[in-house]
Structure 1
Amino acid sequence: MKSELLLVLVLSLCVSSKPLSKKRTYNKLLLISFDGFRWDYDQDVYTPNLDELVKEGAKAKYINPPAITMTSPSHFTTITGRWIEDHGVVHNLMFNTSTGKIIPHKGTLKQSEWWDNGALPLWITAQNQGLKTASFFYPGGGVNYTGQAVYRSLVLSQNHPDDNETEWKQNIDTVMRWYTEEDFHFVALYYGEPDNVGHAKGPETPERRKIIEQIDRTIGYLRDAIHKNSLTDRLNVIITSDHGMTTVKKSPEVEEIKLNKYMSFLNLSQFELLDYGGYGMITPKQGKEKEVYDALKNAHPNLKVYKKEEIPEHFHIAKNKRIQPIVLFADLGFNLNSRIILYINKGDHGFSNDEMDMKMIFRAFGPDFKKNFLAEPFDSISIYPLMCKLLGVIPEPNNGSLSDTKGMLVDDSDAGERIKVSLTLLIMMLISNII
């Protein structure tokens, strides 16, 4: 009689509980990247909408970009959760060291061979698991991965304006329609500011502060659009960036780094990627590697030079075949000039990700995020497992950690899954004992 009562109890528990196999419903996700949005850009500008997001959701003190603090490498780290040496996008420029051919950043956006190196971006992984995804100008979204394309992708044209506020709002309206009328699950949306203003005018200028005000208005428009489209309880939003920005140090205040002063490119270099911020690579002519290295190693007090095998492991770049034999990093604010001083930018990036000026913003809000939550800094690779959890996607192998971000979630643990597993085991044990 006792065993019969126990069996009835177990069976009633199964009936009264939700079915263990019932699939959870996941909310939609919007990832927005504002290129070059330094972590502290909102601190000297009136930003009521960004301030409101702090109350409505989660904020990280700042985010650490990957070692190569450039647009393409950093964005691809976010969307794959992989270090640069794993995903292979090692520069904004696509290059061929044998032919010397270099393709500018926007020219790479439809070049599959530059992006498709074995690391699958979230768009493709989510699609393979039944979700509908889109890339709106996001770097890497306009190419094929093992023959698969993002379900919908829009790619920046060569002369596309980056600062048109009217268009910014129209882009948000388009994305809202994708969610409401076409049932998209994940969209990555990219804006080219404040990067362009930071380059052209410098980060500590009225022009940069003005573009941050424009970004804040756009975020206000986004919040209103989410409400008007009845997505408040169904859409999570992550707002972040790819790198920061710093003021370029110019003569006569400093001794600029002019590499031609220390070595002959004509005689020693087969190929170089320089004149592009604080990071560069050189492929010496055959048998000339030691001569190039020795010429540059102690040439300038604000220049660090590494043989490929000497690159610090925590940079996570050395193991990729696209990294050239000689790698150079300049100190903060010092540009690498190869032959002549021709750099016209007043602000730049590409410097060490340890520098505070290279850190970037992180905000998140929506039904799955806690309110008024301040997170400690974390690496941008950990945005990927966070997005996978929000979408219910089984992630590809990645270098991120959900432990970096799960504290900001309403469901900040795997307790529910553990309860289901424990309950299942308990039921099996009880039935086994009864039988």
Structure 2
Amino acid sequence: IPNYEVYKKSDIPNEYHYRSNVRIGDILFVGKNGYDIYLPDDNSSTELHGDHGYDNRAKSMHPIFYGFGPVFKENMLAKPFRSVDIYPLMSYILKIKERQTNGSFDDAKHILKDFPEETFSDKINLFVSKIKDWGFLTVGCIIIVILISIVYTAVACRYSQRSIYVQPHYAPVRYRLLSHTEGSTNNLVASDSENEEELQ
């Protein structure tokens, strides 16, 4: 279908965090950015001034988050985080027990004063959590492909034929004087001898 994507419930992308809910139907229609789905007798499109619900990876779907209060860093332009990360963030701020959701406190905690700038270990921990989201099988396949590429490149470089330019060797040409006779037109001849005494 042009300008729309259709998914079975089992095929809904993981990024939507949508397919595991019992309230989701068997078929999902998703309009591409800028397109809507209406029933034939629905006239609400003439009154539409905005919409939502598109692919959350589209930049136009990214909301704005403003944080004010003693727990937030001041004058900070934070790196993006997902809307589902707000719940664990608020749970931490309000000191209430967090229930398991699709959100991640680690992805949003950088806006709080309690947490300084990310260290290298923080980035490693974040990377490990991303690996868990992607699935170890997928990451393992990527690593195997990279290793095979490195080994293949190393072997190819080692056994490839290399063209080496060798500068030709020119032997010096020596001449000896045959005659001092005036009017001689050919009194120099080439000699292959390298002995200086023979040339005298």
Q: TM-score, normalised by structure 1?
A: 0.25
SS of the equivalent of 1:305 reads strand
Q: Which residue is 1:332 aligned to?
A: 33
- Structure 2 counterparts to residues 32-431 of structure 1, below 5 A: 299=1, 301-340=2-41, 342=43, 343-344=45-46, 345-412=48-115
Q: Which residue is 1:291 aligned to?
A: none
Percent identical among aligned pairs is 40
- 1:330 Cα deviation (Å)? 0.8
**Alignment CA distance shift 1:395-1:306 (3 Å):** same
**Alignment CA distance shift 1:398-1:325 (3 Å):** closer
Cα deviation 1:318-341 (Å, max 9, x = unaligned): 122221122101111111123246
* Larger-gyration structure (1/2): 2
Q: Which amino acid is the alignment partner of residue 403 of structure 1?
A: D
Distance 1:407 1:309 in 2: 34
Q: Which amino acid is the alignment partner of residue 335 of structure 1?
A: D
Distance 1:394 1:322 in 2: 25
Cα deviation 1:387-428 (Å, max 9, x = unaligned): 122122231223222222222222117xxxxxxxxxxxxxxx
Distance 1:346 1:384 in 2: 28
2:71/2:114 contact within 8 Å kept:
yes
SS of the equivalent of 2:40 reads coil
Distance 1:353 1:337 in 2: 21
Q: Which residue is 2:166 aligned to?
A: none
Distance 2:97 2:22 in 1: 29
Equivalent residues, number: 114
Distance 1:392 1:321 in 2: 30
**Alignment CA distance shift 1:377-1:320 (3 Å):** same
Q: Which amino acid is the alignment partner of residue 339 of structure 1?
A: P
Q: Which residue is 1:89 aligned to?
A: none
**Alignment CA distance shift 1:394-1:341 (3 Å):** closer
Q: TM-score, normalised by structure 2?
A: 0.52
2:16/2:55 contact within 8 Å kept:
no
Distance 1:399 1:305 in 2: 23
Q: Which amino acid is the alignment partner of residue 347 of structure 1?
A: G
Distance 2:103 2:23 in 1: 22
Q: Which amino acid is the alignment partner of residue 12 of structure 2?
A: I
Q: Which amino acid is the alignment partner of residue 97 of structure 2?
A: I
Cα deviation 1:147-189 (Å, max 9, x = unaligned): xxxxxxxxxxxxxxxxxxxxxxxxxxxxxxxxxxxxxxxxxxx
Cα deviation 1:121-153 (Å, max 9, x = unaligned): xxxxxxxxxxxxxxxxxxxxxxxxxxxxxxxxx
SS of the equivalent of 1:328 reads strand
Distance 1:383 1:338 in 2: 34
Distance 1:320 1:408 in 2: 30
Q: Runs (4+) of structure 1 moved beyond 6 Å?
A: none
Distance 2:89 2:81 in 1: 12
SS of the equivalent of 1:324 reads coil
Q: Which amino acid is the alignment partner of residue 334 of structure 1?
A: Y
- 1:346 Cα deviation (Å)? 3.6
2:17/2:102 contact within 8 Å kept:
no
Q: RMSD between aligned alpha carbons?
A: 1.9
- 1:377 Cα deviation (Å)? 0.5
